[in-house]
Structure 1
Amino acid sequence: MYEFNSKISVLDLAPILSGSTPKDSFRRTLELAQHAEKLGYHRYWLAEHHNMPGIGSSATSILIGHIASGTKKIRVGSGGIMLPNHAPLVIAEQFGTLESLYPGRIDLGLGRASGSDMRTTRALRRTLGSNGDDFPDLLRELRSYFHPEDEPIEPGVRAIPGEGMDIPIWLLGSSGFSAQLAGRLGLPFSFASHFAPDYLLQALDLYRSAFTPSRMLDKPYVMIGLNVIAADSAEEASWLATTDEQQVLNLIRGRTSEYNPPVENMDALWNEQEKTRIRKQMDFGIIGDRTTILKKLPVLFEETKADEFIVTSHIYDHQARLRSYEILANAVNELRQ
Structure 2
Amino acid sequence: MIPLSILDLARIREGSNAKEALDNARDVAAHAERWGYNRIWLAEHHNMAGIASSATSLAIQHVAAGTSTIRVGAGGIMLPNHAPYVIAEQFGTLAQLYPGRIDLGLGRAPGTDQLTLRALRRSPQASDTFPQDVLELQAYFAEAEPGQRIQAIPAAGTNVPLWILGSSNFGAMLAAELGLPYGFASHFAPEMLLPALSIYRNRFKPSEQLPRPYAMVGVNIVVADTDEEAKRLFTTQQMSFTSIFRGARGLSQPPIDDIETYWTDMEKAQVQRMLARAIVGSPATVKAGMQALVEETGADELIIVSDVYEHGKRLRSFELIADLWFG
TM range (shorter): over 0.9
- Shift in alpha-carbon separation, 1:28–1:155, aligned structure 2, 3 A: same
1:250 is matched with which residue? 243
1:259 and 2:255 equivalent?
no
Displacement of 1:73 after TM fit? 0.1
1:71 and 2:67 equivalent?
yes
Q: Distance in 1 between matches of 2:22 and 2:287?
A: 31
Say if 2:77 and 2:105, in contact at 8 Å, map to a contact too. yes
2:101 is matched with which residue? 105
Displacement of 1:283 after TM fit? 2.9
Structure 1 residue aligned with 2:85, among 64, 86, 89?
89
Unaligned runs of 5+ in 2: none
Displacement of 1:281 after TM fit? 2.6
- Number of residues of Structure 1 aligned to a counterpart in Structure 2: 327
Displacement of 1:63 after TM fit? 0.8
Say if 2:45 and 2:112, in contact at 8 Å, map to a contact too. yes
Q: Distance in 1 between matches of 2:150 and 2:181?
A: 27
Normalised by the length of structure 1, the TM-score is 0.94
Q: Distance in 1 between matches of 2:51 and 2:129?
A: 27
Instruction: Tell me which amino acid in the other structure corresponds to 2:62.
Output: H
1:232 is matched with which residue? 225
For residues 265-314 of structure 1, what are the alpha-carbon distances to aligned partners after superposition, in whole Å with 9 as ceiling and x for unaligned?
22222111211221233231210010111211111011001000000011
2:159 is matched with which residue? 166
The aligned runs of 1:136-285 (5 Å cut-off) are 136-147=131-142, 156-285=149-278
Q: Once the two structures are aligned, what percentage of the paired residues are identical? A: 50
Structure 2 residue aligned with 1:12, among 4, 8, 14?
8
1:52 and 2:48 equivalent?
yes
1:312 is matched with which residue? 305
Q: Distance in 2 between matches of 1:215 and 1:149?
A: 16
For residues 94-147 of structure 1, what are the alpha-carbon distances to aligned partners after superposition, in whole Å with 9 as ceiling and x for unaligned?
010000000000001000110011101111134x67431110111121112122
Q: Distance in 1 between matches of 2:93 and 2:174?
A: 27
Displacement of 1:27 after TM fit? 1.5
Displacement of 1:166 after TM fit? 1.4
1:115 and 2:108 equivalent?
no
Structure 2 residue aligned with 1:22, among 7, 18, 41?
18
Structure 1 residue aligned with 2:127, among 132, 152, 161?
132
Q: Distance in 2 between matches of 1:219 and 1:129?
A: 34
Q: Distance in 1 between matches of 2:18 and 2:159?
A: 32
For residues 5-58 of structure 1, what are the alpha-carbon distances to aligned partners after superposition, in whole Å with 9 as ceiling and x for unaligned?
311000011100011011111111111111111100000000000000000000
Normalised by the length of structure 2, the TM-score is 0.97
For residues 207-252 of structure 1, what are the alpha-carbon distances to aligned partners after superposition, in whole Å with 9 as ceiling and x for unaligned?
0111011001110000010000110111000000110011000001
Say if 2:117 and 2:124, in contact at 8 Å, map to a contact too. no
Q: Distance in 2 between matches of 1:108 and 1:59?
A: 14
Displacement of 1:157 after TM fit? 1.1
Say if 1:173 and 1:191, in contact at 8 Å, map to a contact too. yes
Q: Secondary structure at the match of 1:131?
A: helix
Q: Distance in 2 between matches of 1:190 and 1:125?
A: 27
Q: Distance in 2 between matches of 1:230 and 1:35?
A: 16
